């Protein structure tokens, strides 16, 4: 939904995927139908080598990267104590949710600085800015809370160069709802959501599109909850 929203604003799009080649190529076809350039590039954000290859291929295809949507992030839905994680799982979660984001930003910053314009969007979870403990999500939560601090710091450092840095914190938007519009979910019921309906991909996409507007340059360092009032931590603690 974010790709479609930005394409409607006239942005050329690079779609990153890990395993979903068919779906990525289908999306690219839809984007090209909107009159913009689009391509799909395979890369695992948790891999240093893949991150470098993603940037190299993307720049070769587009010339410049002015907007980076750092929405990739591995997540273990199974509720698990920290003591039950393996070292490999911890490393993967930290690479995918914090270190990989930082390194991708670093690879983009020099070009954005030279052009005097850039938009960096990070992804967190609801109420991440409060840095509360999240039992059974220790590694993921630690990575995202660290990303909150990094988002705020980088926003201050890069503001003089015309680069904004913000974080989007979606609610529990699951499955096919990620690909739906607001009108498609407006009549559905969600008992967990204070709003009463489930979230849709468009809920997130419309906020990102706004933050990427040229005139949104005074909005930076913000952590934006898009969750219908749902508190994921309090909801799931028993």
Count of domains in the chain?
Answer: 1
Task: Kindly report the number of other CB atoms within 10 A of residue 175's CB atom.
Answer: 8
> Rounded distance, CA 68 to CA 138, Å?
27
Q: Is residue 114 domain-resident?
A: yes
67-71 mean pLDDT: 96
What integer pLDDT is reported at residue 230 of this predicted model?
Answer: 87
- In this predicted structure, the answer to whether residue 121 has a pLDDT above a threshold of 90 is yes
Q: What is the pLDDT of residues 177-234, one digit of tens each?
A: 999 999 999 989 998 888 999 999 999 999 999 999 999 999 999 999 999 998 877 6
Task: Kindly report the number of other CB atoms within 10 A of residue 30's CB atom.
Answer: 12
CATH number at 112 reads: 3.40.50.720
Q: Is residue 123 domain-resident?
A: yes
The pTM for the full model equals: 0.93
Confidence class for position 72, pLDDT limits 50, 70, 90: confident
Q: Is residue 182 domain-resident?
A: yes
What integer pLDDT is reported at residue 234 of this predicted model?
Answer: 66
What integer pLDDT is reported at residue 39 of this predicted model?
Answer: 97
Q: Is residue 87 domain-resident?
A: yes
> Rounded distance, CA 57 to CA 40, Å?
10
What integer pLDDT is reported at residue 132 of this predicted model?
Answer: 87
Q: Are 212 and 121 in contact (CB under 8 A)?
A: yes
- Give residue for tokens 């009108």: 183
Q: What is the pLDDT of residues 22-37, one digit of tens each?
A: 999 999 999 999 999 9
Q: Is residue 72 domain-resident?
A: yes
- Beta strands, E only, 74-226: 118-123, 163-170, 223-226
65-74 mean pLDDT: 93
> Rounded distance, CA 148 to CA 5, Å?
25
Q: What is the pLDDT of residues 131-184, one digit of tens each?
A: 988 999 999 999 999 999 999 999 999 999 999 999 999 988 888 999 999 999
What integer pLDDT is reported at residue 235 of this predicted model?
Answer: 54
127-131 mean pLDDT: 91
Q: Is residue 207 domain-resident?
A: yes
Q: Is residue 6 domain-resident?
A: no
What are 57's two structure tokens? 């291929």
- In this predicted structure, the answer to whether residue 117 has a pLDDT above a threshold of 90 is yes
Q: Is residue 96 domain-resident?
A: yes
What integer pLDDT is reported at residue 238 of this predicted model?
Answer: 41
What integer pLDDT is reported at residue 237 of this predicted model?
Answer: 42
Q: Which residues are catalytic?
A: 140
Pick from 33-37, 77-81, 120-124: least confident: 77-81
> Rounded distance, CA 151 to CA 123, Å?
10
> Which domain range does residue 103 map to?
65-236
């Amino acid at each position: 939904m974010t790709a479609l929203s930005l394409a409607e604003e006239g942005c050329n799009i690079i779609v990153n995927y890990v395993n979903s080649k068919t779906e990525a190529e289908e999306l690219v076809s839809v984007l090209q139908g909107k009159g913009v350039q689009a391509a799909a590039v395979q890369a695992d954000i948790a891999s240093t080598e893949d991150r470098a290859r993603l940037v190299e291929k993307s720049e070769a295809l587009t010339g410049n990267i002015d907007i980076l949507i750092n929405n990739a992030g591995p997540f273990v839905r199974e509720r698990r104590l920290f003591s039950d994680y393996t070292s490999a799982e911890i490393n993967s979660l930290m690479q995918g949710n914090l270190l990989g984001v930082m390194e991708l930003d670093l690879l983009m910053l020099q070009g954005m600085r030279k052009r005097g314009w850039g938009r960096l969007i990070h992804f967190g979870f609801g109420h991440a800015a409060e840095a509360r403990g999240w039992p059974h999500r220790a590694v993921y939560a630690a990575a995202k809370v660290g990303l909150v601090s990094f988002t705020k710091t980088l926003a201050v450092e890069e503001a003089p160069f015309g680069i904004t840095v913000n974080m989007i914190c979606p609610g529990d938007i699951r499955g096919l709802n990620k690909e739906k519009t607001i009108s498609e979910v407006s009549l559905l019921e969600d008992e967990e959501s204070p709003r009463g309906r489930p979230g849709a991909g468009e809920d997130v996409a419309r906020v990102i599109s706004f933050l990427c507007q040229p005139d949104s340059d005074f909005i930076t360092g913000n952590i934006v909850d898009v969750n219908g009032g749902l508190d994921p931590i309090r909801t799931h603690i028993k």
